Chains A and B, each alone.
Chain A
Amino acid sequence: MTKNQEVKVIEIKKSIFADNDLDADNLRKELKDKGVFLLNLMSSPGSGKTTTLIRTLNLIKDKLRVAVMEADIDSDVDAVKIKEATGIESIQLHTGGMCHLDAEMTRQGLDNVPMDGLDLVILENVGNLVCPAEFDTGSCRNAMILSVPEGHDKPLKYPLMFSVCDLVLINKTDVMPYFDFDLAKCEEYVHMRNPKATVIPICAKTGEGVEKFAEWLLNEVNNWKKS
């Protein structure tokens, strides 16, 4: 009993995401002041984020000044690939083993990006459908890529990812005949989780549909700047 009486309980009752949410809101305000739009691009590993980005960057680089931040657990293969294929400034962030980026890590990354005159920063988040959805990076919009081989049921299995995204790109449509991928069902599942999400089927390899993504991005950046 004596031992118990020595125990003092301090009530905290606080979500562990609260600090990050606040940080993310502050980062969004700072980006707004600078006129820089931040897109957070998420997906599983191997869904084609980098290939999609290369296609898209080549379509928009004459219209917007863009920089790319690649977040990975290790290596700089993505940043090098982007720079070589598009000439666009690309920096590599290492998460040190962490499965996602939070607002503070995003801010540290942005500190290394020359922001003067920049319109858009695309953050290629760590390939993962779980953790990146839980941590607000401070981005202005969230987008994700679901590739055909992953299956059309993913919105049901990873509901949070689909509910935080403004845009869902369905990539690798060229291999649809080889997989039991039901595009209409997939769109239905996405909208069950998130009625407001825009869905655009693309094929990063052939370029099909990528211009629609580029158009969406241009619109979002321009509307956000005006708002």
Chain B
Amino acid sequence: MHELGIVFYIIKDVKKAAEENGVTHVNAVVMDIGEVSTIVPDYLTDCWRWAVTKEPMLEGCELRINTIPAVTHCDACGEEYETVRYGKTCPHCGSGETWLLRGNEVEIKQIEV
């Protein structure tokens, strides 16, 4: 259960940020999750709902997820393309000399208090 471990990391960071800002309760957490980050948003929110019941500071706290579309850059032709549709091979020139530009994010964007 990969997402549960991720939820524990989010909770740790959110509690730290709340304490640093003198906040006693967090109403919502907004995450940026990349399309190819290997995180399944539904599983993440399910685990979140269970985990926050154990944390008084996060009671009823909502988890909102922004999905970041994955984009790959091709070094051979300089074009960018949709990672999920074409994978590692550039649809413009067929090269495999490509790297992920964005879409791997697992970031806490902001918290609402």
In the complex with contacts A16-B6, A131-B5, A8-B13 CB distance below 8 A: no
Q: Are B108 and A8 in contact (CB under 8 A)?
A: no
The B-contacting residues of A in range 40-84, CB under 8 angstroms, are none
A12 CB within 8 Å of chain B: yes
Asked if B23 contacts A16 (CB within 8 A), the reply is no
The answer, yes or no, to whether B101 is at the interface (CB within 8 Å) is: no
A188 to B70, CA, bound (A): 24
Consensus secondary structure, chain A interface: mixed
Answer yes or no: B2 CB below 8 A from chain A CBs. Answer: yes
Residue in B closest to A133 when the chains form the complex, CB atoms:
B38
Say if the beta carbon of A177 comes within 8 Å of chain B: no
Interface string of B15-37 (1 = CB under 8 A from A): 00110010100010000000000
Residues in B whose Cβ lies below 8 Å from that of A28: none
Give the residues from 28 to 55 in chain B that come closer than 8 angstroms, CB to CB, to chain A.
38
- State in angstroms the CA–CA spacing of A160 and B38 once bound together: 10
* A1 CB → nearest B CB, Å: 16
CA distance A193 to B98 in the complex (A): 10
CB distance from A95 to the nearest CB of B (A): 9
Of A31-39, A97-105, A143-151, A208-216, the segment with at least 4 beta carbons within 8 Å of chain B is A97-105
Expressed in whole angstroms, the Cα–Cα distance for A121 and B66 within the complex equals 40
* A15 with B113: CB separation less than 8 A: no
B13, B106, B111: which contacts A9 (Cβ < 8 A)? B111
Whether a CB of chain A sits under 8 angstroms from the CB of B105 is yes
In the complex, how many angstroms separate the beta carbon of A148 from the nearest chain B beta carbon? 23
CB of A159 within 8 Å of the partner chain: yes
Q: How distant is B84 from chain A, measured CB to nearest CB, in Å?
A: 13
CB < 8 Å: which of B12, B38, B112 contacts A8? B112
Q: What are 8 residue pairs bridging A and B, where the CB atoms are less than 8 Å apart in the complex?
A: A8-B113, A12-B107, A13-B107, A13-B110, A16-B13, A100-B5, A192-B96, A193-B88
